[in-house]
Amino acid sequence: MPVDSRTVTVPMFKSKPLEAETIPQNPWMAPNGRSNIHNDAYMTDTYTWPGPNGGTLHVDFKLLGGEAASVTFDSQGRLVVVSIAVSNSTTTRSVLLLNPETLDILASLDLPSGGGGSTGFGGGGYLYLDHKDQAVIPTANQQIWVVAATNTPASLNLERTYDLASVIGNQASSILSVLPDWGGRLWWITDTGLVGYTDPSSGVSSTYQLPSPQVIGNSFAVDETGGVFIASNYAMYRFDVSATDKAPTVTWCYSYDRGLGIKPGQKNFGTGTTPTLVGKSYCGITDNADPYMHVVVYRREAEFTGSRIVCEVPVFLSGHSDSENSLIGYTGNFFVENNYGYGDKNLGALEPVAPGLARIRFGDVPDHGHKVWENDKLIIPSVVSKLSLANGLIYTYTRGTGAGHDWYITAVDSESGDLVWKVLAGSGPVFDNHYSALYIGPAGTIYMPVSLGMVMLSPQKG
């Protein structure tokens, strides 16, 4: 059972459902909203079901011994996560199967904990749940594991391993992320800029190395046309499979303004965002420009005449803007948060984090993009925020400004940018989310991974 529970009451929000284009379902992934850290193959960070609107809510906290940054939900509603724990400079990783109501560990499986690729968000920070309820996980020893859960009794079993060490050829390289395209190929990327895919039947891989000194720091997106969208620390790319030699091929590439250097709150010198796809035509990231970061929107089609850049919209304070988390996207809109100032080397330190959450509206006319609103009060150090299309609320994780180092699950009106309510998750470094995402489970419960466990927020029980 959770180690800490309490009941709170907050203002009730009247739902404002949002009209949005339907996100295509990748046939090789679990249903949208359940499959990966950014919810779907488009990486939209949106849900078609609501989280709590407010009223009487129940807060639970469960120690898990590590941080489960990526959360997926199987067909029974159970949480399938990778927990990463650091102790005395030693990193251990394990797959956990969690009860959605109590967060009790139903089953666990140790993952490789060392070797090449054992640093950063690679080696399990990103995973996805496939159409068979199997977790597909890049490991710290340059493999991809396919892990399945059984029911009675609950257990986690290794079903298949793809060993990519010989293909990658660099022992220090980390597999950051893996995703299937609509044809079922397993695309993967490394932090050293290697882009590849593996045929799941034969196990044969094909690769493309980005030009030096480009590296990759985040996950990627795929769409139903065969496009694979990857942002390096220099440029935004669309890849496709070549019709001639079946190799990964650059379809288009646009550089962006990577700024003058790495900023406080960032992991890499360049964009901190996984590309987000919207509708049939658009792709968005943030750049790293000075003095203002921009939300940059591209036309993503394989064939397009004219400039692919739809707009570049500046956001947040001059000299104090960057983002290390993906944009939220739905029809004609992107939402972006400011992570400038967050430092993860000393969890619990009260670094001065610049505030900011903004909504950008864009259209088909070049340079036609503008800022709808900007909330300059919310301090959002490092969470992947989420949007419910069902009720119009953005759910995020904010930090207080006092000496108590308080952390709050926070609801924001996506139409106006106004704070609706916030609920104290806890105080101190244990409740630092440390770049984890927030999630809304299929039953409407919010799950917020933190440094040593997880917080749940749900309508009052019983």
H or E element that contains 165? helix 165-168
The amino acid that residue 454 corresponds to is M
Segment 405-439, tens digit of pLDDT: 899 999 999 999 999 999 999 998 899 999 999 99
Q: How many domains does the chain have?
A: 1
pLDDT of amino acid 117: 38
pLDDT computed for residue 367 by the predictor? 59
CA distance 425 to 398: 10
Burial label, 115 (beta-carbon count in 10 A; 0-12, 13-18, 19+):
middle
CA distances from 336 to 44, 232, 339, 437 (A): 12, 19, 10, 14
Question: Do 402 and 408 meet the contact criterion of CB atoms below 8 Å apart?
Answer: no
- 236/217 Cα distance (integer angstroms): 12
Share of the chain above pLDDT 70, in %: 93
Within 13 Å of residue 265, how many CA atoms lie on the same side as its CB?
Answer: 27
- Sheet with 333-337, edge to edge strand ranges: 328-330, 333-337, 357-362, 369-375
Q: Which segments in the chain show pLDDT lower than 70? A: 1-3, 114-123, 344-351, 364-367, 402-404, 461-462
Q: How far apart are CA 175 and CA 278, in angstroms?
A: 26
Residue 28 neighbours by CB distance under 10 Å: 22
Residue type, 148: A
**Stated pTM of the model:** 0.95
Secondary structure of 219-273 as H, E, C letters:
CCEECCCCCEEEEECCEEEEEEECCCCCCEEEEEEEECCCCCCCCCCCCCCCCCC
CATH at residue 228: 2.130.10.10
Question: 349: domain range?
Answer: 4-459
Q: What is the pLDDT of residues 179-213, one digit of tens each?
A: 999 999 999 999 999 999 999 999 999 999 999 99
Q: What sign does the CA torsion over 212, 234, 435, 33 have?
A: negative
